[in-house]
């Protein structure tokens, strides 16, 4: 169960006076077609013993810059590996070849595909990376969408059970021609998780890493919780709600990120795998939990399932909670947030 922490003003005052030699470092950059942000607390100066036994005295600023560079590199590395838009990516290789032969892939991508398959199973196919078999035919910037005839013909290619993953030789095979996969619903959460682990290993105890709507938190914000905003789905610069959190991840999926409106109908980037059309039961879903990869995938999943089924799924998973905004812009909370 997730504890939503009350704000503490005394905590704030203490943190300001006790850590006069330390400071926050922040950096924003674009990657994976979205804005990423990293923010962490570093005590300075930092002294550490290197392998030869001598003491390295790096000032906090140098260490911070090095960590920021590492976070950036890690995000770009994952983008290079998992982007469907980069011809050289491992993901593009699968999409070109896996319907013809079993393709050997890295352990890292293999493990993420296993997680995606697990999510598909527990969501009865609401989360399905093969949504891309039709998904790639949408272009939200150019207001393009596939016709109903094209959707009907390609729909059988959306079927996660047609992905065969073989652990022994780390291969992936598609039992269906025309099948494509896309990790847009899970890769950013995974990238956030990797970056948080990197900071943690470097001794950082208070950090926020975000990629678009996916945020992961390490510790608190020095005596007070982090306050993460859930965007108002229909007012661009407004927040619908702020959630105080520590040591959790939160991911928001909304129908306002990439979309166009045609004849009053909103076509957006979250696809119902059963129809090949955009999911329209709710307008925003945020999922909170420990694992950034899972909360990313679960926010997309609950969005597809809608209010009743989505809450039913989350209420079965004790480690995860959800905040859903329905079509009337009413807020709904999963059980653990109401206690
Ligand atoms: P973002 O942070 O990219 O706005 P979300 O976490 O809401 O995204 O996920 C939306 C992305 O997930 C889409 O852009 C697409 O790449 C992918 N996606 C869309 N529908 C599905 C689905 N049913 N199952 C898995 N992934 C999906
Ligand atoms: Mg997601």
| Token output for 63 | 């260490």
Which bound ligand lies closest to the C-alpha atom of 272? 1
Q: In this structure, is the dihedral angle defined by the CA atoms of residues 252, 258, 261 and 262, taken in order, positive or negative?
A: negative
pLDDT at residue 8, rounded to an integer? 36
The CATH number of 12-44+59-79+194-338 is 3.10.520.10
pLDDT, tens only, 309-324: 999 999 999 999 999 9
Closest atom of ligand 1 relative to the 182 alpha carbon = 16
Q: Does the pLDDT value for residue 57 go beyond 90? A: no
The residue whose C-alpha atom lies closest to atom 19 belonging to ligand 1 is: 270
pLDDT at residue 184, rounded to an integer? 98
The residue whose C-alpha atom lies closest to atom 3 belonging to ligand 1 is: 184
Indicate if ligand 1 lies below 6 Å from the C-beta of 213. yes
pLDDT at residue 60, rounded to an integer? 74
CATH topology of domain 83-174: T-fold (1.10.3980)
Indicate if ligand 1 lies below 6 Å from the C-beta of 131. yes
Indicate if ligand 1 lies below 6 Å from the C-beta of 271. yes
Indicate if ligand 1 lies below 6 Å from the C-beta of 182. yes
The percentage of residues in the chain with a pLDDT greater than 70, rounded to a whole number, is: 89
Sequence-distant (6+) residues with CB within 8 A of 192 are: 209, 210, 211, 214, 215, 216, 249, 292, 296
Phi, then psi, of 331 in degrees rounded to 5 = -90, 140
Rounded Cα–Cα distance for residues 245 and 300 (Å): 21
Tell me, yes or no, if the pTM score tops 0.75: yes
Pocket test for ligand 1, best of 185, 189, 211 (most atoms within 8 A of CB): 185
Q: Does the pLDDT value for residue 332 go beyond 70? A: yes
Rounded Cα–Cα distance for residues 288 and 314 (Å): 10
Q: Which residues in the chain belong to E strands, given as ranges?
A: 23-31, 34-42, 46-49, 55-58, 103-104, 163-166, 171-174, 207-211, 214-218, 226-231, 239-245, 249-254, 259-262, 265-268, 271-272, 277-278, 282-289, 321-326, 331-333
Q: Does the pLDDT value for residue 20 go beyond 50? A: no
Residues whose beta carbons lie less than 5 angstroms from ion ligand 2: 185, 253, 296, 299-300
| Token output for 339 | 């206690």
Q: Given its phi and psi angles, is residue 108 left (phi above 0), alpha (psi -120 to 50 degrees) or beta? A: alpha
83-174 has the same fold as 12-44+59-79+194-338 = no
At 10, is the pLDDT very low, low, confident or very high (cuts 50, 70, 90)? very low
Domain coordinates of the chain in residue numbers?
12-44+59-79+194-338, 83-174
pLDDT at residue 5, rounded to an integer? 42
Rounded Cα–Cα distance for residues 35 and 29 (Å): 6
Sequence-distant (6+) residues with CB within 8 A of 200 are: 207, 218
Report helix, strand or coil for 51.
coil
pLDDT at residue 12, rounded to an integer? 39
Q: Which residues pair with 42 in a beta bridge?
A: 23
Phi, then psi, of 185 in degrees rounded to 5 = -90, 0
């Amino acid at each position: 169960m997730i504890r939503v922490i009350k704000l503490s003003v005394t905590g704030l005052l203490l943190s300001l006076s006790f850590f006069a030699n330390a400071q926050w470092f922040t950096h924003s950059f674009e990657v994976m077609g979205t804005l990423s942000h990293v923010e962490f607390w570093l005590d300075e100066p930092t002294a550490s013993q290197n392998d030869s036994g001598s003491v390295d005295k790096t000032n906090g600023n140098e260490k911070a810059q090095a960590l920021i560079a590492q976070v950036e590199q890690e995000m770009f590395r994952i983008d290079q590996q998992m982007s469907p838009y980069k011809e050289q990516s491992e993901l593009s290789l699968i999409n070109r070849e896996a319907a013809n032969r079993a393709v050997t892939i890295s352990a890292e991508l293999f493990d993420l595909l296993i997680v995606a398959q697990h999510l598909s199973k527990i969501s009865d196919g609401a989360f399905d990376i093969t949504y891309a078999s039709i998904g790639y035919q949408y272009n939200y910037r150019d207001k393009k969408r596939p016709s109903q005839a094209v959707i009907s013909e390609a729909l059988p290619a959306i079927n996660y059970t047609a992905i065969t993953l073989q652990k022994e030789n780390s291969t992936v095979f598609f039992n269906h021609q025309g099948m494509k996969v896309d990790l847009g619903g899970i890769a950013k959460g995974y990238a956030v998780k990797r970056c948080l682990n990197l900071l943690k290993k470097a001794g950082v105890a208070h950090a926020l890493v975000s990629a678009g709507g996916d945020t992961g938190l390490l510790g608190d914000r020095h005596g007070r919780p982090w306050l993460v905003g859930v965007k108002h789905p229909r007012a661009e610069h407004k927040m619908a709600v702020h959630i105080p959190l520590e040591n959790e991840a939160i991911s928001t999926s909304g129908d306002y990120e990439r979309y166009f409106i045609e004849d009053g109908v909103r076509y957006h980037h979250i696809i119902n795998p059963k129809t090949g059309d955009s999911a329209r039961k709710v307008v925003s879903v945020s999922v909170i939990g420990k694992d950034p990869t899972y909360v990313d995938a679960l926010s997309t999943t609950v969005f597809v399932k809608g209010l009743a089924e989505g809450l039913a799924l989350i209420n079965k998973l004790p480690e995860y909670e959800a905040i859903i905004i329905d079509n009337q812009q009413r807020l709904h909370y999963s059980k653990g947030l109401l206690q």
